[in-house]
Amino acid sequence: MKVALAVTAIFSTLIAFTVYGGDNMRAFPPPDKGQIRYVIQLAEQDEESNYQVELIVGQTVKIDESNQYFFGGQIKKESIVGWGFTRYVVSELGPMAGTLMAVDPNAPKVDRFIRLGGEPYLIRYNSRLPVVVYVPEGVEVRFRIWQANPKSYKANEG
């Protein structure tokens, strides 16, 4: 009986690996109308717990180069039912806001990437699954890899 259960468990694991081991994107639905799906496949690292991924969502706009700007909005983390995988969704970019420094009205406008405001959006590094982000058309997804220093420091008692 125990052997049969062990064989069944191994067989189930092999089937699960076959179902989504080779093509993880099957779990992720196509984007809705008016949305784009971005996929980030991370490189395998020796110690992935020392890494994090920062998702940077924004839009390139023609604007002055002196003021600091940001968009309202947020990245929402969602679990895909039946799979347990995570996807990230930005429903819309809110209004753009920024500082109000006086700028020469004759100064040329420049193309700048303006991101969502707030704290950096950091997620766990996992090279085994893609990072999938859904955003409205015209919105861009960028990312940055953060790495922890492997050296730790002793705190002083105080």
Q: What is the pLDDT of residues 35-82, one digit of tens each?
A: 999 999 999 999 999 999 999 999 999 999 999 999 999 999 999 999
Predicted model pTM: 0.80
Residue ranges covered by each domain of the chain: 27-147
Q: Which of 156, 47, 69 is nearest to 115 (CA)?
A: 69
Local confidence band at 134 (pLDDT 50, 70, 90 cut-offs): very high
Mean pLDDT, rounded, of the chain: 87
Give, as one character, the DSSP assignment of residue 35: E
DSSP-derived letter for residue 48 is: G
Annotation: CATH topology of 27-147: Immunoglobulin-like (2.60.40)
Q: How far apart are CA 52 and CA 55, in angstroms?
A: 10
Look at residue 150 in the predicted model and tell me its pLDDT.
83
Average pLDDT of the residues in 91-110: 93
Mean pLDDT of the 119-143 span: 97
In Å, how far are 16, 17, 26, 74 from 23, measured between CA atoms? 12, 10, 6, 29
